[in-house]
Every structure is written in C-alpha cells, then in structure tokens.
Amino acid sequence: MRTFKDRISQAVALLKEAGNVTAFTGAGISTESGISDFRSKGGVWDRYRIVTYQEFIESHDARVEYWKMKKELFHEIKAAGPNNAHYALAELERMGKLKCLVTQNIDGLHQDAGSSSVIELHGTNRKAVCLSCGKLWPIEDIQVRLEAGEVAPECDECRGFIKPATISFGQSMPEQEMIKAYECAVRCDFLIMIGSSLQVEPAASIPREAHRTGARLIYINRTETPTDNLAEVLFRENAGEVMAELLRGLKSKSAD
C-alpha cells in the first residue's frame, strides 16, 4: 500500500474535482466513538443473542430479552459522541460538496455532528414505534418506562408492541430509504465509504451502483471488503484521522 500521505493527496485531488458527493457509512465510523459493533468482543452484541423480528412478534420472552439488550445499548449510545469523521461529513455538507449521507447506523451520531439530511437504512434508535398503530415516541420516553420497571412496553393507545424504530433481523428494509439511497448512488460523481465491511445486502450494493454509474470511490475501512477493487484509494487508518486530513486538504488553496 502506498504511503498515507500519497493516498491522502490522491483522495483530496479526486474530492476537489467532485461536484456531487455521497457518503455511505457503517458501524466502523462509530466504533471510534465508543459504540461497539457486531464484531467487538465483550460488546453488547457479544453478550446477547440476536432476537429476530419474527421472534419479537411471537414471544413475550423474546421481547423482554430484546428490550434488556436495548436498555444496555442506550446507555452506551448516550455516553458516545460524534468523532472527527462524523464532523467532517457534516462540514462537507455545509460546504455544498456532500449531497447525500446514507448510513447503516442507528446511533444518530451523524445528526449530533450537524448533518441535516441523513438516510438511515436500518432505522434509528432515537425513536420507538408501535408496531400496530405506528405511534412514535422519542426513545427517552420509553427509557423512562424501562427504568421504572416495564420489561416489554406496550402502546398506551392500542396495546400494540413497542419496538425501537430500527430494522431488525428478519424485517424488510425501508422502501423509501432504499429508493433515496439508490438515487444518491446514481446521481453522485464521488462516493466515500466509511466503516462498512459491505457484507449486508442490499445496502452493500449502494457503492457498487455508484461505481456502475460512473462515480469514483474511496473506501475507509479497517478490513477488506468484497468490492475493494472498485475503490481508487483505500484507507485502513482511523476514519476520524483520514477524514480530518481530507477536509484539511480540500480547504487548502495549494494545488497539491
């Protein structure tokens, strides 16, 4: 792999030429903020088994187990703040470069960093929804109920099951968000992928679609992905560090 400095220069040059940038982010951008992903040893995901959507619907015990895990995850998310990578993307949006931010994350850290329009493919942990009538709550309202001893909260209007507004395993992807994400992929001329191992379909097809329709790609991810060959520049370094350098390069007047 070429030196970090070389790769930064090349990526900055590409970014300077770009007129319509899409960013695609996954769990890796938030691990630097202290949020564990599926692979983090000892993380929330390591200590609880995955409850599928079907199980959640069918079993009270599964709902109790699910909410117990979520309660722990909320504490983790509450303690976490955006890092330089989140802030850099928000800044790219303010500069008018970044037109779309598509994320697989449910932690809301892009919004905390100041990004205004975020396409959340896997929903959000910041809200809860009644699965029967669709009523929405800020997640804090449900947290209060959990802390008060409820183990599987039900809707006060219809007694339906309440679930965080995230997409669970076994639940289909939100159609509108997927359509918007594909539009972004097709329209952009440059895509920055940060922190996804690109294993989960159909989300992983967003960078592929961008490449197919002529966009140039850079990948910032700790590990290999199935489509590394599509990226013109690859970074294995910290996303926060890489994004801060790219932003610095983009703002510098020099032609390097």
Name the region of 162 (left: φ>0; alpha: ψ -120 to 50; beta: rest): beta
Is residue 141 within 8 A of residue 179, CB to CB? The reply is no
Choose between 39 and 135: whose C-beta lies nearer to Zn ion: 135
Amino acid in the structure at residue 215: A
Residues in region 112-141 near Zn ion by CB under 5 A: 130, 132-133, 135
Choose between 58 and 157: whose C-beta lies nearer to Zn ion: 157
Does 220 help bind Zn ion (rule: CB under 5 A)?
no
Name the region of 108 (left: φ>0; alpha: ψ -120 to 50; beta: rest): left
Q: Per CB under 5 A, which region of 31-39, 116-124, 141-149, 153-161 contacts Zn ion? A: 153-161
Does 144 help bind Zn ion (rule: CB under 5 A)?
no
Is residue 142 within 8 A of residue 73, CB to CB? The reply is no
Does 156 help bind Zn ion (rule: CB under 5 A)?
no
Choose between 50 and 136: whose C-beta lies nearer to Zn ion: 136
Q: Per CB under 5 A, which region of 77-85, 149-157, 195-203, 248-256 contacts Zn ion? A: 149-157
Residue 64 CA from chain centroid, whole number: 26
Q: Which of 158, 170, 212, 251 binds Zn ion (CB under 5 A)?
A: 158
Going by DSSP bridges, is the β-strand pair 123-130/162-166 parallel, antiparallel, or unpaired? Answer: antiparallel
SS3 label, residue 216: strand
Q: Which of 100, 155, 178, 230 binds Zn ion (CB under 5 A)?
A: 155
State in angstroms the smallest separation of the CB of 157 from Zn ion.
Answer: 5
Nearest-angstrom CA–CA distance, 248 and 88? 10
Please classify residue 223 by burial: count the beta carbons closer than 10 Å to its beta carbon, then call 0-12 exposed, 13-18 middle and 19+ buried: exposed
Does 205 help bind Zn ion (rule: CB under 5 A)?
no
Choose between 95 and 158: whose C-beta lies nearer to Zn ion: 158
Q: Per CB under 5 A, which region of 47-55, 97-105, 154-162, 243-251 contacts Zn ion? A: 154-162
Given 60, 75, 110, 122, the catalytic residue: 122
Nearest-angstrom CA–CA distance, 239 and 35? 14
Does 160 help bind Zn ion (rule: CB under 5 A)?
yes
Q: Is 75 a catalytic residue?
A: no
Residues that bind Zn ion (CB under 5 A): 130, 132-133, 135, 155, 157-158, 160
